[in-house]
A and B are shown apart, each in its own frame.
Chain A
Amino acid sequence: MNELEQAGLARLRDGWISGGAAFEFAPAEWKEVAAAANPDEQERRLLAIAAQALDVALRPAAPKTLKRRPPLPLLALPMLPERLRPSLRAALKYAADARLKTRVATLVASRGFVLHPMDWMPAVTDQESPDVYAPWVDWQAGAEGEKRSGREQLTAETWDDFYPAARRIALIDLRRTRPALARTLIETKGTSEPAEVRLPLVELMRFGLGTDDVPFLKSLSADRSGKVREMAGRLLARLGERGNPTDGGLENPIAELAAFIEEGKSGFIRRRTTYAPTKTKSPAQQARRADLFASCYFGDLVAHFGKTESDFIGAWQFGVDDNADLFLVRMVSASGGDAAVACLADLLVAAGGRLALLVLQLMLRLDGGRKRLLIRQILNDAQNLAALTQVEGAEAGWLEWGDLTSGKTLSALRAAVSGDNDIMKRSAEQYLETMGFLATAATAEKLIGEVVAAGLPPASPSLGLLRLNAALAQNQSHR
């Protein structure tokens, strides 16, 4: 289309938009084609020509600034084979929320694959997805261009070459292998960062925390941010450094908290000290006690009673006041030493029942082995299977068939899926999904057979993760 025609088309267009005859505005060649007896027909003919001109002769004008995103980075693991993607999508579809979807990705990563980005992408804020996805988290966060090569080491010089998620993963790795180097990096690079970046950096000190970290953490007592000071104080408390927080008032909060705890004696022959919560007299007192448990450090509390952390835990009378038990466990989780956390977890798991579920409050501090113990305990009881879904950071793909058959879980599942109680059935389907994550491939396969034999439809969506789990093993053997 030449310029005259374009100008004519623009005039015609303007004429038709406002209404009325537009024949006179048309280019001369178009007028010849559109000439007709009646004016309406002339307009229609011009309309047909204009429609074709708009369709074929004019191409859509590209905006001057089209923003292209950098290519999605390739990840360190291979993509899930195409033939497994339908099973994966079924498992993702059944996963009700982002946390459960991330769990599917974790299972797949544990078997050596990553998901197709059109099937699942970690969220920008996702810190639970497997480490292998860090480049995608950074890409989602708007990272422009590739920065880090896979083999590059995080140092002060390469600090800026890492995007935040990749840097976080690298720092965690460093804290586990060379904690002093990681500490130096956090110390030197963190000071110039704003508080919202400094806080998560200091939080990473919890990995590989040791006495060498004390001077640095103490230096943070003068940090500009209250949250950073509080985080450093808790980490110091875990190392046995006394904090003595003052609660902003003149009173001694440790003494105030201790007043809510009653020291007693038990045993006839070998007398031993016990600690039990006193009965609170009002909701205000209950609230104050909760605040004190949340703000004081465990080390300071046990020092007040002249005990070690483990002795105090051993002497605590669980079951007297459920709320006080919960507050104490949270306190240990926040500021207790590693030994105290392990001691408390072992004690609670051994106690079983409802008390074992308190271990869920310690999840961030527990190693994989103790998490497995807790899960086995839950399965053994089969009373609180719903707690399985709350076990944070559990490893994927380790649950053996014996773990299911030794307790009451399998029979409970069979009864639920074969029964008429829809609520029980739905709950059982949720447990099956969790077991799809925890189970080994062989266990997954067997479990599918068991519940299908018990009456669950073979194509029940709740079996999606179990099926994917089993299929992943078959695929590994094909590789």
Chain B
Amino acid sequence: MQLDLKTIEALAPDQASLGAAAKLTKRSNWPRLEAHEQLPLIWGECQGSGSNPYRVAFDTSDHGYKCTCPSRKFPCKHILALAWIGATAPDSFARVDQTPDWVNDWLGRRRKPGQPPAQAPARSEGKSIDEASRPEEIAPVEDAAAAERREAAQRKRAEDTRSAVSAALDELDQWIADQLRLGLAGFVNASSERCRRIAARLVDLKATTLAGRIDELPARLMALRGEERPDAAIRELGKLVLLGKAWRAAPDDAELKRLVSTSETRDQILADPDAVQVESDWEVLGEKIETRRDGLVSHATWLLDLGSPTPRFALLLDFFPASAGRRSGAFAPGDRFKARLVFYPSRNPLRALVAERLGDASPGAWPAFAGGAETDPLAAYSVFQDKTPWLSDCPLILPAGVIALDERDGAWWQAANDPHGIALPVAGSVNQTLLGLDLAATAALWNGARLELLASQSSMGRLDLS
């Protein structure tokens, strides 16, 4: 490794980045730090503010870099921190002779490898490693009166938000009643415009998460066949009514607040003593990346707990602006790892954060889960709906089955031993090869109308279907 602090200073876009990087140089922030034995490459995984770690790679010869974080600063604080550790504590890096696939992908895409080191914003004026390394000055102790004033202000803001959200839900109720009065046939046809209008009002009234959900409603309807849309509209609007009523009954409920207005921060979740924590082996089932109408990209990574006797899932959910471009995820479908996950408080704990990566888990088939899916593939969905009737996407493990086609070449999942004539329509088109494979078990999301396949176990091994 040929790194010195002057180089890092020169690379940094500004002093603030150096300051932020300095805080990330603690070894505990990096569950993985590796360096190639022969090549001038270092890489690592840094626990950032997202639900899963950022992947960071740095070429020590030409100072090329890659980070999966959404920062618009180049290089970001994670790159600077990685290089910083490389310069000051090279022994922190485990020496390996193979680069992981994600590093290979980056190397393969690099525009101009082998060039002399990029003389990045080569000037160090106004930036100083020394200054960034200096411990922050301790904030003056707040006096009791000031603390009380601050808490009062916080309470006032919370109260204002609650009033605004309450008003938002009143408007939403009225809007739903209007849609019923005007007719759902018209609503389905004009859903895009109508939903956009009410979503804008909800944003004004601080019900931002709910606004995002309503903004996405037209896309959910349009994904279905024409004759299915009115039923889907009833389901979606009905769930909104339920969510509104639940929030009014318990406006301080963390889960309901998250679904209506704002979510907790990562630090709040990690600091929450009541948050469910699960340490286990996890498999990445698949990813769902959607660009939303509000300009954000939602990146959902679904995990399966391989150590649980009944199917347990976790959802790592990140958002970043679409303008930041395509962003590679921290995990690839099929990856297995040991980790401690912290779940967001919920009646159905699904959304989670990776609190600690504990190494890789061994490959293999999924365990045989108990849970009644053999007799009723949607049994888990009924339980899910009992607890959280305002939610849609429910992860399931389906028993042995096949994919079959209807007369319009729509794909259906059908149980191999199907005593009840149950078949579930599959979203989108499927790889035709799948029609010839017996699926021993399938992980999928069921939203009441369509099945989104994530992964399967088959006689030909694991199938990535996301």
The 4 closest A-B pairs by CB, nearest first: A51-B238, A19-B183, A72-B436, A62-B423
- How far, in whole Å, are A117 and B460 apart by their CA atoms in the complex? 9
Q: Within 8 Å CB of B449, what residues of A?
A: 60
Residue in B110, B176, B432 whose CB lies within 8 Å of A44: B176
- How far, in whole Å, are A55 and B231 apart by their CA atoms in the complex? 10
Within 8 A of B (CB), among A68-103: 68-72, 79, 82, 86, 90
Is A455 an interface position by the 8 A CB rule?
Answer: yes
Chain B positions within 8 Å of A, measured between CB atoms, are 39, 99, 101, 103-108, 110, 113-114, 173-174, 176-177, 180-186, 230-231, 234-239, 241-242, 245, 363, 378, 381-382, 385-386, 389, 402, 404-407, 412, 414, 421-425, 431-438, 448-449, 460-464
Q: Within 8 Å CB of B389, what residues of A?
A: 51-52, 55
- How far, in whole Å, are A129 and B242 apart by their CA atoms in the complex? 57
Q: Would you mind naming 13 contact pairs between A and B with Cβ atoms under 8 Å apart?
A: A16-B234, A17-B230, A19-B181, A19-B184, A44-B241, A48-B239, A49-B238, A52-B389, A68-B414, A70-B436, A82-B461, A118-B434, A459-B105
Q: Is the CB of A16 within 8 A of B99?
A: no
- How far, in whole Å, are A429 and B210 apart by their CA atoms in the complex? 51
Question: Whose C-beta in chain B lies nearest to the C-beta of A59?
Answer: B422
Is A243 an interface position by the 8 A CB rule?
Answer: no
- How far, in whole Å, are A56 and B242 apart by their CA atoms in the complex? 15
Q: Within 8 Å CB of A62, what residues of B?
A: 412, 414, 421-423
Chain A 339-375 interface mask (CB, 8 Å, partner B; 1/0)? 0000000000000000000000000000000000000
Q: Is the CB of A63 within 8 A of B436?
A: no
Number of interface residues of A (CB under 8 A): 50
Q: Is the CB of B423 within 8 A of A71?
A: no
- How far, in whole Å, are A115 and B400 apart by their CA atoms in the complex? 24
Question: Whose C-beta in chain A lies nearest to the C-beta of B105?
Answer: A459
Chain A positions within 8 Å of B, measured between CB atoms, are 13, 16-22, 40-41, 43-45, 47-52, 54-56, 59-60, 62-63, 65-72, 79, 82, 86, 90, 116-118, 121, 139-140, 455, 457-461
Report the number of A-B residue pairs with Cβ-Cβ less than 8 Å.
160
- Given contacts A47-B180, A62-B412, 15 further A-B pairs with CB under 8 A are A19-B186, A40-B174, A51-B234, A52-B385, A56-B382, A62-B422, A66-B423, A72-B433, A82-B462, A86-B101, A117-B460, A118-B434, A118-B463, A139-B436, A459-B103
Q: Is the CB of B460 within 8 A of A50?
A: no
Q: Within 8 Å CB of B405, what residues of A?
A: 66-67
Given contacts A71-B437, A79-B460, A82-B363, is CB(A51)–CB(B423) below 8 Å? Answer: no
- How far, in whole Å, are A63 and B236 apart by their CA atoms in the complex? 24
Q: Within 8 Å CB of B234, what residues of A?
A: 13, 16, 47, 50-51, 54
- How far, in whole Å, are A59 and B421 apart by their CA atoms in the complex? 10
Q: Is the CB of A20 within 8 A of B385?
A: no
Q: Within 8 Å CB of B381, what residues of A?
A: 56
Quote the shortest CB–CB distance from A56 to chain B (angstroms): 5
Question: Whose C-beta in chain A lies nearest to the C-beta of B383?
Answer: A56
Question: Whose C-beta in chain B lies nearest to the C-beta of A20?
Answer: B181
Given contacts A72-B437, A86-B101, is CB(A13)–CB(B231) below 8 Å? Answer: yes
Q: Is the CB of A18 within 8 A of B237?
A: no
Quote the shortest CB–CB distance from A17 to chain B (angstroms): 5
Q: Is the CB of B448 within 8 A of A17?
A: no
Given contacts A48-B238, A51-B239, is CB(A22)–CB(B180) below 8 Å? Answer: yes
